[in-house]
Structure 1
Amino acid sequence: MINKLTTGRILSIDAFRGITILVMIFVNSVAGVQGIPSWMQHAHADEDRMTFVDVVFPAFLFIVGMSIPFAVNSRLAKGDSFWQLQKHIGWRSLGLLVLGVFMVNAEEVNAAATGMNATLWALLFYVCVILVWNVYTFRQQWISWCFKGTGIAGLLVLGWLYHGGDGSERLSPHWWGILGLIGWAYLYACIIYQLFKGVAAAYMFMIAVCIGYYILCQQPFMHQGEWSWLASQGVNAAHTSIVLSGMVLTLFYFDEDLGLRGSKLFARVTGFLVILLIAAVNLRPRYQISKIHATPSWCLYSAVICVAVFSLLYFLIDVKHLSKWTSFFRPAGSNPLLTYILPDIVYYLMILLRISLPPVLGAGLPGIIWCACFAVAMLFIVKGLNKLRIRLQL
């Protein structure tokens, strides 16, 4: 064991994850609505600002960081050897990268060159995802592997068939997609977590190292010759700083060896938040806030917001025991990957079945209300799919 953590499900983390997913579905849907206010849209790459929409992705990264200590220590408690743990981390990282690349390329399928309708290709991809990453409960293990094997074979065939753009482009990571970016940050954070043996202060130092590495990668010499491949990891380092921030917060709240309670816990968390805030303020003049460029100020401000939001949830749920309302978010919080891909599945099914929304739902307040209702509906559907034992786990 690396850290002695609180056992059992942490409702405040599940609630944070579920709320983030609900907001993610809403903001992804509302992005296609015309005439919405600027505070409901992503800030442009070169604007020195951020909206609540720009905090959704870093909230996912932050939650990944909060979950890593629990996941790693759980596997160690079950008897995993060092190499078994690395295999699990590697498989999970690879899964996120593969999903990210497929989802990005699904937007540019050339039907004629691929020999398949773009919508059908995307839907078959999601069927394969469910086959590969579903948690099966068959007593005969070989049945589970048959389903997983079919899904893997399907992904290989779809990848081989794929042509995008003008028909000459093959399946490639021209960018990794949201899940792929999470995959890189998860991989680096897991390595750092194991290297520094659960010491919170060391992870705080590594947050600074990740930010420093990003800054180094902005220097002109890093984009020349043999250094260019190192510069390409600057954005991943910035994202990793957010994951590490979530990791630090988990240790403050749930590491029993630290034993932080009451005023000590409040002081430690507040001090951490203030340090992040001071760093964000001081870096902003040189590195403007930008989600697209993953600037240090955006990373640190996002981490500050996540620390504050989770702390509020922890106070309400774990301290005041006001937890009944979290039952609505629990299905999504316990099945995040399925909840993440479900809106895309519904979107492609609507295209395949030629179902379109009335124009009134594509603009202004009616469109915003529709997107909010759609997000809520997705959570109810996931709840039903959970009962059908469709639960994805990387």
Structure 2
Amino acid sequence: MDEALLTVHNQMSYGLQVLYTSDYCYKCLYQPLASMEVGPGNVSVVLSTPFTLTLKASPVNATNTLCSISYLFEEAGHYSLWVTPGDALDVTCYISLDKFPHSTYQRLTVADLVMPWFVFIIGTSVMLAFSSMRRKGVTRLQLLRKLSWRTVVLMLIGFCFINYSPRDGLLSWSWLRIPGVLQRLAFTYFILSLMQMFSPYREIPPSQVRWWSPVQDVVLYWPEWIFILLLETMWLCVTFLLPVPNCPTGYLGAGGIGDNGLYPNCTGGAAAYIDRWLLGHNIYWHPTCKAMYHTTQPFDPEGVLGTINSIVMGFIGMQAGKIFLFYRKLNNKIIIRFSVWAVILGILAAILSKCTRDSGFIPVNKNLWSLSYVACMGSMSFVLLGMMYFVVDIKGWWGGQPFIYPGMNSILVYVGHSLLGFYFPFSWEMRYQDSHWEPLFRSLWGTALWIFITYLLYRKRFFLKI
């Protein structure tokens, strides 16, 4: 899957080596792909197909480039790279198609959006839930007990299931990892809840026209804004000013073969350095950058430093909750304010990233949860929530079914999938390893099965709560 066959045809009178790099890999060193000690001749190799590759040919044991070519190979296709002598001393490279690929698809995924959207809606839910509980007369002590208990339980669930191993038992001590998705969500929820619990404004203020009324949902919560600005200032200072041994200060790259191979052991910069300092080796050893950048250092995408911006993301979600409370039943104002926040955050993300993938002041980076990534995801979150509010609440075109059922038992689904997701009937060993339709069908089947289970639980009025 996601592979193609390339046959290199060397028509030169001497040996040839072919190197490659992915256009998605930032300033990466070329890596060896194929080599022929003598020419002419040919050799076949397997290529990865998700991203455009740049190939260059040079004589064996030499550094000069004879020719280079960029090409987006497609899955299961058979290709030929021809290196032929041209006029005078020129060398020509071209690619021919020997066997058509299975499909000419482009990989699309929303995986990078799911967690920040979830953090955003946690912030919105905290705002609405605390407002409801205060109206019911729940005391601060009761609130503190509830949120502390929920935080501890979520962290324990995340810690146990991320380290669960059928061979080692409940915890796998050989590759124990402390950070995780649920741990980050739990800590983010805890901080957001504390902010809301100690907020000086418990009720919606009387509707009086003041000069700052258009931004009252910001002005009335100025202590929270100061706290968030201080948190973000700390993230910026640590990220860009903390000295990291043998690495450039403020480094945000993947290390490995990236940045021309100058900083192979600097994966993640200050974020990884802090994790190693606080958590030792109990962090993630297989980051997503490892395959492309050939990194050797651990990096945890749910590490300590990134959790700061997770709190910021949740606070942006709290702002959506404040808009709901301040402008209840004023649908037009809610949609307008969602749109304004989406534009503001989108402009901030564009400025920080310079509208580029890698060359901005602060690139959009999911693994680091960079400020530009949070601003970009916050903008998209307001857009998505505004669309859902329009479709569900204003127009009544959709009630959220069937996804409301797993949403009402989200912890049960998470735990259940962690324990049973790799077993029949939720999953099975694929028969067609080189196809996309079978893993897609398997994923859709597993999702549908959990929706059906949670629907039955909904009918029975059973909800697993913490």
The alignment's TM-score, normalised by the length of structure 1, stands at 0.64
Displacement of 1:61: 0.5
Residues 1:296 and 2:371 aligned together: yes
Residues 1:235 and 2:310 aligned together: no
Displacement of 1:338: 1.4
Stretches of structure 2 that go unaligned for 5 or more consecutive residues are: 1-74, 77-102, 202-215, 245-269, 280-302, 354-359
Asked if the contact 1:65/1:186 (under 8 Å) is kept, the reply is yes
Displacement of 1:251: 1.3
Q: Secondary structure at the match of 1:328?
A: coil
Aligned residue in 2 for 1:178: 181
Q: Secondary structure at the match of 2:421?
A: helix
Residues 1:194 and 2:194 aligned together: no
Q: Distance in 2 between matches of 1:38 and 1:392?
A: 39
Aligned residue in 2 for 1:3: none
Distance 1:207 1:103, change over 3 A: same
Asked if the contact 1:101/1:176 (under 8 Å) is kept, the reply is yes
Displacement of 1:277: 1.2
Asked if the contact 1:213/1:234 (under 8 Å) is kept, the reply is no
Q: Secondary structure at the match of 1:392?
A: coil
Displacement of 1:354: 12
Asked if the contact 1:335/1:392 (under 8 Å) is kept, the reply is yes
Q: Among residues 329, 341, 345, which one is paired with 2:415 in the alignment?
A: 341
Aligned residue in 2 for 1:83: 141
Residues 1:55 and 2:77 aligned together: no
Q: Secondary structure at the match of 2:464?
A: coil
Residues 1:278 and 2:347 aligned together: yes
Displacement of 1:193: 2.0
Q: Among residues 322, 338, 349, which one is paired with 1:251 in the alignment?
A: 322
Displacement of 1:194: 2.9
Q: Distance in 2 between matches of 1:348 and 1:296?
A: 35
Stretches of structure 1 that go unaligned for 5 or more consecutive residues are: 1-33, 41-50, 122-161
Distance 1:180 1:328, change over 3 A: same
Structure number having the greater strand percentage = 2
Aligned residue in 2 for 1:213: 234
Query: 1:35-78, CA deviations, whole angstroms, 9 ceiling, x for partnerless residues?
Result: 997744xxxxxxxxxx5210001111111111102222333333
Displacement of 1:349: 4.3
Q: Which has the larger radius of gyration?
A: 2
Q: Letter of the aligned partner of 1:66 in structure 2?
A: T
Q: Letter of the aligned partner of 2:242 in structure 1?
A: P
Aligned residue in 2 for 1:13: none
User: How many aligned positions are there?
Assistant: 288
Q: What is the CA RMSD across the aligned residues, in angstroms? A: 3.2
Q: Among residues 383, 388, 406, which one is paired with 1:332 in the alignment?
A: 406
Higher relative CO (Cα under 8 Å, sequence separation at least 6) belongs to 1
Displacement of 1:347: 2.4
The alignment's TM-score, normalised by the length of structure 2, stands at 0.55
Q: Secondary structure at the match of 2:173?
A: coil
Q: Distance in 2 between matches of 1:238 and 1:374?
A: 32
Structure number having the greater helix percentage = 1
Q: Letter of the aligned partner of 2:307 in structure 1?
A: N
Aligned residue in 2 for 1:309: 384
Distance 1:358 1:211, change over 3 A: same
Q: Letter of the aligned partner of 1:164 in structure 2?
A: W
Asked if the contact 2:143/2:197 (under 8 Å) is kept, the reply is no
Query: 1:261-289, CA deviations, whole angstroms, 9 ceiling, x for partnerless residues?
Result: 24433332222112211221222212212
Distance 1:39 1:239, change over 3 A: farther
Q: Distance in 1 between matches of 2:163 and 2:317?
A: 30
Asked if the contact 2:421/2:427 (under 8 Å) is kept, the reply is no
Asked if the contact 1:64/1:243 (under 8 Å) is kept, the reply is yes
Q: Letter of the aligned partner of 1:261 in structure 2?
A: L
Q: Secondary structure at the match of 1:357?
A: coil
Q: Letter of the aligned partner of 2:316 in structure 1?
A: S
- Aligned-residue sequence identity (percent) comes to 18
Asked if the contact 1:181/1:236 (under 8 Å) is kept, the reply is yes
Query: Which 10-residue stretch deviates more, 302-311 or 262-271?
Result: 262-271
Q: Distance in 2 between matches of 1:267 and 1:388?
A: 40
Q: Distance in 2 between matches of 1:80 and 1:63?
A: 23
Query: 1:341-377, CA deviations, whole angstroms, 9 ceiling, x for partnerless residues?
Result: 2322322544xx9983342277313322331232122
Residues 1:287 and 2:362 aligned together: yes
Displacement of 1:205: 5.6
Matches within 5 A, 1:1-394: 39-40=107-108, 51-106=109-164, 108=165, 111=167, 114=168, 118=169, 121=170, 162-165=171-174, 174-197=177-200, 200-201=217-218, 202=222, 203=224, 206-218=227-239, 219-221=241-243, 233-252=304-323, 254-255=324-325, 257-258=326-327, 261-284=330-353, 285-324=360-399, 326-350=400-424, 356-360=428-432, 363-394=435-466
Q: Secondary structure at the match of 1:80?
A: coil
Displacement of 1:260: 7.2
Distance 1:60 1:343, change over 3 A: same
